[in-house]
Amino acid sequence: MRKLRSLAVVAFAGLLLLTACGGGSEPSPSATPAASTQAEIFLAAADDPMADPFTTDTAIDVGTANQTPTASPTNTAASEVTARTGTDPELYAAADRPACDVEKLISDLQANPTARGAWADIRGIQESEIPEYLRGLAPVVLRYDTRVTNHRYTDGSGFAFQAVLEAGTAVLVDNTGMPVVRCACGNPLLAPKAATDGATYQGTAWPGFSPDTVIVVTPGATVTVIVCIRINTTVTIDVPVSSGPGDGSATPSSGGSGTAGATATATATAPTGAPASGDYTSCARRYGELVRDLTLNGGMDAGQAEQWAAKAKQAAALASSGDLAGAYAICWESVSEMEAELATR
């Protein structure tokens, strides 16, 4: 199982060291994200934008009940953090309306050229691409406490710090399921860095927080919808996500039982043994599930993992170019191999 080293908890009885997480108290110099290292991981409650945000609060309250699964993933040891694939079905929650006001987020960044430049640099895109990029992301709600690399904006620059975002936090995710923006502050997010030995959580723990149920998200195969659990229900909802600037916007579509309402279906003949639908999105989703299942059942051989990842990238490139039949054929080849491997476990 792919894992990251976890953290030692300081005075874990509900209250931890007070930091720049809000709450009306001044942080100590050693407990501010501006001076943080990978030995300090800051706790960010869902309703706390934290200090020095890139934008105003653009999160939309779409409901918080029934966010966290009744059976949260439990790490096998206190020194580990469980990895979950970003495209796993029901990893995130969503509602019929977006959890983030993307147009307000765009407007805030457009109004502050310095912040806009710093934001684009962190995300690795051109400033002119920000509007289309943001409109193509999927607005969802975290269902697990999730480790990320967060950023604060101060003195015209972005400064990275390690953080745990509380379940219930509104984020934007990309087409591999990775959280890339926190809506409450507009901060760009990146994958977390491995914590150093003896690393400590900083901030006030929310009710129910436990280091043993914190997860990290790893990229899945490229998809066109993020399959989420509908808030306050037990059914799923599909949130479309684009491949990048110029590929449209992402607005939740009701999936009812989980069938994608905005997925594209290839018309070419499906590979032998494949489902007759030839649905590349469904195949990519199954690929993500198999990555998770193989990882949790003994791990994957490095050589196999590299081959499957290369095929996934090839399939995603074909899908982006419009060749869904070709993308599906390559995807199904990998899925068939992975299914066979899983059957031996």
Please state the domain extents for the chain.
Answer: 3-218, 264-345
Q: What is the pLDDT of residue 91?
A: 95
On the question of pLDDT at 338 being above 70, the answer is: yes
**What is the share, in percent, of the chain residues with pLDDT greater than 70?**
73
Report which listed range, 131-135, 270-274, 290-294, is most confident.
131-135
**What is the share, in percent, of the chain residues with pLDDT greater than 90?**
42
Answer with the residue of higher pLDDT: 298 or 42: 42
Among 88-97, 273-282, 292-301, 306-315, the minimum mean pLDDT is found in: 273-282
On the question of pLDDT at 73 being above 80, the answer is: no
Answer with the residue of higher pLDDT: 29 or 339: 339
Answer with the residue of higher pLDDT: 31 or 325: 325
At 343, the pLDDT band (50, 70, 90 cuts) reads confident
Q: What is the pLDDT of residue 45?
A: 94
On the question of pLDDT at 120 being above 80, the answer is: yes
Note whether 301 and 282 are within 8 A (CB): no
Q: What is the pLDDT of residue 21?
A: 31
Mean residue pLDDT across the chain: 75
Note whether 78 and 133 are within 8 A (CB): no
Bridge partners of residue 165, in order along the sequence: 44, 146
On the question of pLDDT at 164 being above 60, the answer is: yes
Q: Average pLDDT in the 28-52 region?
A: 68
**Whole-number Å distance between alpha carbons of 170 and 183:** 6
Q: Average pLDDT in the 41-70 region?
A: 81
Instruction: State the pTM of this model.
Output: 0.63
Among 87-101, 218-232, 260-274, 306-320, the minimum mean pLDDT is found in: 260-274
Q: Average pLDDT in the 125-143 region?
A: 94
**Whole-number Å distance between alpha carbons of 293 and 122:** 32
Q: Average pLDDT in the 309-316 region?
A: 81
Q: Average pLDDT in the 328-332 region?
A: 83
At 244, the pLDDT band (50, 70, 90 cuts) reads low
Report which listed range, 62-66, 79-83, 92-96, 266-270, is most confident.
92-96
Answer with the residue of higher pLDDT: 72 or 105: 105
Q: What is the pLDDT of residue 38?
A: 62
Sheet arrangement for strand 92-94: 187-188, 179-182, 170-173, 138-142, 92-94, 225-230, 236-240
Q: What is the pLDDT of residue 81?
A: 75
At 135, the pLDDT band (50, 70, 90 cuts) reads very high
Q: Is the dihedral of CA 145, 149, 155, 156 positive or negative?
A: negative
Q: What is the pLDDT of residue 329?
A: 82
